[in-house]
Amino acid sequence: MPQTRMRHEFTLHAAPSAVAEHLAEPLNYVGLSPLVVEVRDITRSGAKAHYTAVERFDLPLGRHFDNPIDVTLALGLDETDAGALIVGGDVVSRAWVHVRYRYEISAHPVGSRIIDAIELRAPFGLLRFAASRARAVQIERARVLAERLEAS
């Protein structure tokens, strides 16, 4: 199955622990991704949470398509040797799109430096569309995190 990788680095005026805690909570993903309109069926098991997120895609004539996706989110705030906090997870869509994501959050003079990394696999013919959506979400996520965390 074809795959691609994307990476987005940005800084926030918020402590690394606040950023990591926000990203480790499933309910915070509603609106964090402009596609996610609902999070449901959350189960926690040790350092992981499993849940269903609903992505909404707009269609012509005011209609929409809801795509439920299965998400596994690492709740533990692992630390790297350099002291960066790690939050990550896996997403599986019913359209056979698989996304592995990872946030590396480290201290920065203004607050936090975040590396948002995505590895995406999709069937041939769907990869370009899935990658364009994932990249748009990745860029918007930085803006929404700033809006949510820098105001507090």
Give residue for tokens 């507090």. 152
Host domain of residue 143: 3-149
Six-digit token string for 134: 């994932």
Vertex 144, ends 121 and 60: CA angle to 5°?
65
Give residue for tokens 């996304």. 99
Could you read off the pLDDT tens digit of each residue along the chain, which spans 152 residues?
789 999 999 999 999 989 988 998 999 999 998 889 999 999 999 888 999 999 998 889 989 999 999 999 986 555 655 566 788 889 988 888 999 999 999 999 999 999 999 999 999 889 998 999 899 999 999 999 999 998 75
CA distance 44 to 115: 25
Domain total of the chain: 1
**Residue count of the chain:** 152
CATH number of the domain that residue 50 is part of: 3.30.530.20
Contact 144, 116 (CB under 8 A): no
